[in-house]
Each structure stands twice: as C-alpha cells, then as structure tokens.
Amino acid sequence: MSSDPIGSGIFSSPGVVTLNTGSIGASIVIWLLSGFLAWTGASSFAELGASIPLNGGSQAYLNYSFGPLSAFLYTWSALTALKPGAGAIIATIFGEYIARILFHATGKATDHPHETGLDGIPGWSIKLLAVSIAALITGAHAFSNKLGTRTQIATTIVKLLALTAVPILAIVQAARGKTSPSSQQAFSSLGNLFAGSSTSPSSYALALYSGLWAFDGWDQSCFVAGEMKRVEQDLPRVIHISLATVILIFLSAVVSYFVVLPADLVKRTNTVALDFGSAIFGTGGGIVFAFLVAFSCFGALNGQIYTTARLILAASREGYLPERLGDLNRRTGTPVAALVLQLVLITAFVLFGSGFASLVNFYGVCSWTFYLASVLGLLALRIKEPNLNRPYKTWLATPILFAAVALFLLLMPVGSAPMEGLAAFLFISAGVPVYYLTQSRAGWVSNSPFLAKIKGLFASGGSGARTDDGRGHHVPLSTSEADDGAREDDEEQIEMLPKTADDMGKERA
C-alpha cells in the first residue's frame, strides 16, 4: 500500500501559493514551475534508480555516492520527520475541512487563516480533529492488517472524480456568465493577471514549497526503473506521460478556482474546494466538496500510516531504531509499537506546528535537503564514475537546474520561515550522534557501560519473536493468522533498508 498518486495539496495549497505570490498570474507560474521541478527531479531520480539498482531510494543513492552517514541521516529524518510530518499535514487538511463543516460552512475566511485557523474557528478544534483522525486510523491498524488497499482505491477514485468535476463546473459557470468579477478583470489582460505580484524571492520559495507539496511523490520513479525491461525507452515515456497528466489536472483545477472565486478569497483560505462548491451550489455544495476532500485525506493518511509503520518496523530490526519497535503484537500480528511511535510524532507535529503552511515549510526544508543531496550525488557520479552502466541517462542540464532551484529553496526561507528551517536542521542533525552511537564500532562506545547499554537497545536480531528468512533478514514468527498476512508486507519494507551501515559500504564496494 502507498499513498495516493495525486496529493491532497491541490485542495489546500492554492491559498498559500496565491498569498505568497500576490497575483493569479504569478500563482499559475508557480504551479507550472512546481510541475517542471517535479519532472526534472523524477528524471534525475530515474537515472539514479536505473544505474544504482538497489532498494531504498535516496538512502541507497546517498550511501553509494557519499557513504553510510548520509544514508543514515536520510533514514533517520524520513522516520522521525518526513513521514510523520507528511501525516501531520494530511491530518491538518482533514481537520480544516471538517472544522468548517462543523462550525459554519458558509463563513468567509479571515485575514490569516493559514496559521491561526479558518473563519474564526479556534485553532485547537482543527488540531483536535487532526489528532483524532490520526488516532482512529492508527487504532484500526493496530487491531487489524485489513484496512488497506480497497480504502486506498476508493479514496483515489473520489479524489479523481472531484478534480474532474472542478474544471467542468468552472466551464459551466463561465458559460453562464457567473464567474467572479475580479477574475474577469484579471484574465482580461496580461498586466492585470500579474498585478500585485510579490517581489520577494523568499515569498516565491515559500509558494514553491506549497506547490511542490501537491506534487510530492515524484521521487517514486526510481523504484520502477529496475523493474523495466527497456528502461531507456519505457522510463522516459512513463515520466513524461504521468507528470504531464498530473500537471494538466492541477493547472485545470487551479485556473478553475480562480474563474469561480475572487483571488482575494483564494488567498485567505486553506479549504478552497469547499469555497468553490459553496460559490456554485451554496452551503450544500460546499459541504459535499468538503466531505470529498476529507475522505480523500482519510485514504492518504491511511496509506501513510500503514507504510510508515512498516518502515519503522524494518528500521528497528536493522538497528536504525530501538529493537523493541520491531516487535509484532502476538494476538493481532500488527506492529503496535511502531504505530504508537508514529502517532506520537504526528500528534507532536500537529500540536506544536503553527498550521498547514508552517508544517509544509518544515517538510519542504527537510525533504529538499535530501533531494538536493541525492541529485548532487548523481552529478558527482557523472564525474567519478563516467563508465557506470546507465540504462537511462537524463540530460545534464536537468540535474543541474534541479540542484540550483533546490539550493534556492533551502536558502531563501532563512529569513521568512526561520523557525521551520531551524527545526528541520535540528531534526537532521540529531541523527549524527545517533549514527555514531548505534552504528559505529568505536571503542569509546563499548568502553562506556552507559553508552554500550544504549547501543544495545538498537541491536537487531536475537529476539525470540523473530526468525531468519534465509536471506539475512529478520522476519516475525508466524504466531497467528494475522502474522501470515503481514509477512509479505514486512519483507517488502525490510528490503527497502540495508542490513547495517557496514553492509551499505559493502554494497558500494
């Protein structure tokens, strides 16, 4: 199971993008640029996936290019910041849409909804709803492995139906002459379209973070490269067609929002789909659209929690996290400890985050740090290993352009989002002492009883609840029928992580 292929960000990011860019035209440019960056990133990661056919994505590429410390930092950050951070964002989107239904679906957005709540709705209610849905899904997964694929398929279909309906309804409104007067004026000339555009580079960086959040998942192209028989032919086709389709869908939705809604309203809302439905059909239409988005968020969060819990389980068994997090409940066969850890992290991000925009900025700094590092690894390998077998090779300008924009994204928010940037830096940096404490064989660790005891918590293998599958991987003993059903999922996730930091170095050699 994985998260939905089309992110929930298209139902929440347009407001933040427009607020930071200042105009409809600049907002559309940001969405185009976000799609283009996703394409350049996917092409770069596809080359990495084809030339370094190892499981693990960025972890494997960073290890091959720069060594085990960089790979460990990626895994550490993914499990403690990126995955739960993404879960917190999705849960927050769910909370915002449901909160507007519960309080007053017809109300107008306030001047600062992206950080303080919507329509005067207290921020605590959104956080409560976000934590509640995360706890509900976590509890369901703790009791059973069955809440899965069918839910994902259903929510993805609902999301696609909603995104298909948005441009159709906008066209109908335009044909009836019921478009927003301010939008009519904006679309009347190029000058009006870009009137009021921001001149601050850092504002555009923050806008890009929100736009790129909607496209998040483009890095998954690397996972299919090794499965293709004709990589040099099939992979470019898959990347071009899939991303072109998503870009077209997102642009259609964004333009449709502006056709129906005034730009000033779009700037002030995180629940643009609800406002879109309300503008066309009244309160009932807004509620219907809000439920569609909330249901799609439920599916996305369901997939996020399921896969992340399995990654935590796999990481703990390989010594990246405390070993007890790899235990399965003997009655249900589910990774309860991993699920609880993930819920705690999601809850912390929701409670201590300042809202949707703040969480997206934090996630953006974390994720783009490793996107940049991975693509720099690609460029380094072009120099260090020019004869490396590359079944698929992207244009040299592609990773260079991607790296340049990624560097811009990481530098610009220093002044405009310093707290999120600092938090991301601290999360990533915290992995350095953990790496040397748990993965290093240095004498200063073993000579200290206290440090040796801590390191012992991370040692993989040796538990009576595990056995060996013959390939060096620890898998759960089949203590129940649920264990049998979970075995295939667990093995798949375990293979996404190298066995130890030392083994990662051996793979490189």
Q: What is the pLDDT of residue 490?
A: 43
**What is the per-residue pLDDT across 407-416, written as a single tens digit (0 to 9) for each?**
999 988 777 7
**What is the per-residue pLDDT across 311-337, written as a single tens digit (0 to 9) for each?**
888 788 777 888 788 788 888 888 899
3-state secondary structure of 105: coil
Q: What is the pLDDT of residue 179?
A: 86
Among residues 238, 248, 203, 232, the alpha carbon closest in space to that of 218 is found at: 238
3-state secondary structure of 338: helix
pLDDT tier at 483, thresholds 50, 70, 90: very low
Q: Which residue has the tokens 């996290």?
A: 321
DSSP string, 286-352: HHHHHHHHHHHHHHHHHHHHHHHHHHHHHHHHTTSS-GGGG---TTT-S-HHHHHHHHHHHHHHHHH
Cα 324 from Cα 321, distance rounded (Å): 9
Spell out the alpha helix ranges (H) of 52-148: 58-66, 68-77, 83-103, 113-116, 123-143
Taking CA 136 as the corner, what is the angle to CA 135 and CA 139, rounded to the nearest 5 degrees? 80
pLDDT tier at 402, thresholds 50, 70, 90: very high
pLDDT tier at 69, thresholds 50, 70, 90: very high
Burial of 303 (0-12, 13-18, 19+ CB in 10 A): buried
Q: What is the pLDDT of residue 478?
A: 31
Q: What is the pLDDT of residue 502?
A: 41
- What average pLDDT does this structure show over 165-183? 90
Q: Work out the percent of the chain whose per-residue pLDDT is above 70.
A: 79
Q: What is the pLDDT of residue 494?
A: 40
Q: What is the 3-state secondary structure (H, E, C) of 137-157?
A: HHHHHHHCCCCCHHHHHHHHH
Among residues 69, 46, 65, the alpha carbon closest in space to that of 233 is found at: 46
Topology (CATH) of 8-428: Amino acid/polyamine transporter I (1.20.1740)
Taking CA 77 as the corner, what is the angle to CA 73 and CA 80, rounded to the nearest 5 degrees? 135
**What is the per-residue pLDDT across 177-191, written as a single tens digit (0 to 9) for each?**
888 888 888 888 898
User: Higher pLDDT residue, 434 or 403?
Assistant: 403
pLDDT tier at 401, thresholds 50, 70, 90: very high
Q: Is the pLDDT of residue 456 over 90?
A: no
CA gyration radius for the chain? 23
Q: What is the pLDDT of residue 87?
A: 95
Among residues 325, 298, 275, 239, the alpha carbon closest in space to that of 41 is found at: 239
Q: Which residue has the tokens 């599958």?
A: 469
Q: What sign does the CA torsion over 394, 399, 405, 406 have?
A: positive
The pTM of this model reads 0.83
Domain layout of the chain by residue ranges: 8-428
